[in-house]
């Protein structure tokens, strides 16, 4: 456990100082702040615009951080051969992989927190500046704590995508890993359509392949509750709980597969 903690801490320290995620977070904060200005150009939809842009920024920019650092953690380390010194220490490849994953999740959490703070600051400002009679027409208050449900599920989705990025980077180069991870993210959001593939296809083989893909590919649709929280629609605790359990199981399976590949890999 100590080795995992040390690797995670080093990853966190390194990536917290990296300019790329810092720039992404900076951009996210600016984007969230800019959402206030954009909202002023809309009639009656101002709060919805801020919430939509804020949650979308958390989701998309978080994905960029997860993908670009996640790939760098293993693929770049192999490419630049910094892994040689590391693996000569008394640390197993499994400890290294889990430590790196945990370090990246820590980094993501801090970056999400920074963007989230900016998001709530803009929402708070909106609440202060809008008259109370207008506020009465809002579907949900500006600083609605239920927005955190969407944020928690976005974080769960990013944990899955980080594991996907780490998985691909155990056997593919950085560019291939980035492309595969982004492709899987897109596929993951349309995964639910595969379940009902028999409604649009006649071929039993195609239906069977679609069903297999449905179970293998990550199902990311349940993580997206942005529309619900923005409109103040209730999201059940069981949905949140089950989605997070699904995320943990999927992450565990991906990391086990990644470890199996990484254990056998030759670093030429």
CB of 90 to another protein, least distance (A): 4
Using CB under 8 A, pick the residue from 23, 30, 42, 87 that binds another protein.
87
Rule CB under 8 A: say whether 237 interacts with another protein: no
268: contact with another protein by CB under 8 A: yes
For another protein, give the closer residue by CB, 107 or 243. Answer: 107
Interface of this chain with another protein, residues 12 to 71, rule: CB under 8 A:
13-15, 17-18
Residues 133-172 as b or e (16 or more Cβ within 10 Å = b): eeeeebebebebebbebbbbbbbbbbbbbbbbbbbbbbbb
Among 4-12, 60-68, 199-207, 251-259, the segment contacting another protein (CB under 8 A): 4-12
* From candidates 41, 43, 90, 204, binder to another protein by CB under 8 A: 90
Q: Count interface residues toward another protein (CB under 8 A).
A: 27
124 is a site residue for another protein (CB under 8 A): no
Q: For residue 20, give the nearest of 214, 211, 178, 126 by alpha carbon.
A: 178
Pick from 81, 128, 199, 205 the residue near another protein by CB under 8 A: 81
Annotate the chain with three-state secondary structure: CHHHHHHHHHHHHHHHHCHHHHHHHHHHHHHHHHHHHHHCCCCCCHHHHHHHHHHHHHHHHHHHHHHHHHHHHHHHHHHCCCHHHHHCCCCCHHHHHHHHHHHHHHHHHHHHHHHHHHHHHHHHHHHHHCCHHHHCCCCCCCCCCCHHHHHHHHHHHHHHHHHHHHHHHCCCCHHHHHHHHHHHHHHHHCHHHHHCHHHCCCCHHHHHHHHHHHHHCCCCHHHCCHHHHHCCCCCCHHHHHHHHHHHHHHHHHHHHHHHHHHHHCCCC
Of 84, 124, 190, 215, the residue at the interface with another protein (CB under 8 A) is: 84
In angstroms, give the least distance from the CB of 106 to another protein: 15
Given 34, 56, 91, 114, the residue binding another protein (CB under 8 A): 91
Under the binding rule (CB under 8 A), the answer on residue 131 touching another protein is no
> Binding to another protein by residue 92, rule CB under 8 A?
yes
Q: Which stretch binds another protein (CB under 8 A): 38-46, 121-129, 229-237, 260-268?
A: 260-268
In this chain, which of 43, 44, 88, 133 binds another protein, going by CB under 8 A? Answer: 88
Closer of 4 and 159 to another protein (Cβ): 4
Q: Which residues of the chain form contacts with another protein (CB under 8 A)?
A: 2-3, 6-7, 9-10, 13-15, 17-18, 80-82, 84-92, 264, 266-268
């Amino acid at each position: 456990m100590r080795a995992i903690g040390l690797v995670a801490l080093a990853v966190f320290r390194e990536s917290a100082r990296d300019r790329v995620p810092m720039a992404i977070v900076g951009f996210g904060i600016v984007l969230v702040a800019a959402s206030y200005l954009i909202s002023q150009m809309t009639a009656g939809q101002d709060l919805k615009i801020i919430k939509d842009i804020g949650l979308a920024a958390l989701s998309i920019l978080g994905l960029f951080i997860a993908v670009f650092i996640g790939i760098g953690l293993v693929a770049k380390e192999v490419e630049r051969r910094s892994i040689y010194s590391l693996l000569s220490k008394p640390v197993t490849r499994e400890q290294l992989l889990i430590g790196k994953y945990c370090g990246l999740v820590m980094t993501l959490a801090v970056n999400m927190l920074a963007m989230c703070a900016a998001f709530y600051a803009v929402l708070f400002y909106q609440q202060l500046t809008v008259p109370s009679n207008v506020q009465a027409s809002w579907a949900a208050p500006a600083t609605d704590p239920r927005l955190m449900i969407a944020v928690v599920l976005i974080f769960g989705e990013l944990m899955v995508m980080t594991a996907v990025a780490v998985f691909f980077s155990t056997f593919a180069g950085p560019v291939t890993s980035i492309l595969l991870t982004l492709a899987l993210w897109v596929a993951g959001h349309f995964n639910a359509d595969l379940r009902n593939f028999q409604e649009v296809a006649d071929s039993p083989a195609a239906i069977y392949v679609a069903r297999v893909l449905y179970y293998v590919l990550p199902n990311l649709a349940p993580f997206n509750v942005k529309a619900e929280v923005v409109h103040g629609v209730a999201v059940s605790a069981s949905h949140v709980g089950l989605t997070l359990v699904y995320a943990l199981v999927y992450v565990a399976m991906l990391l086990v597969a990644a470890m199996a590949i990484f254990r056998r890999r030759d670093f030429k």
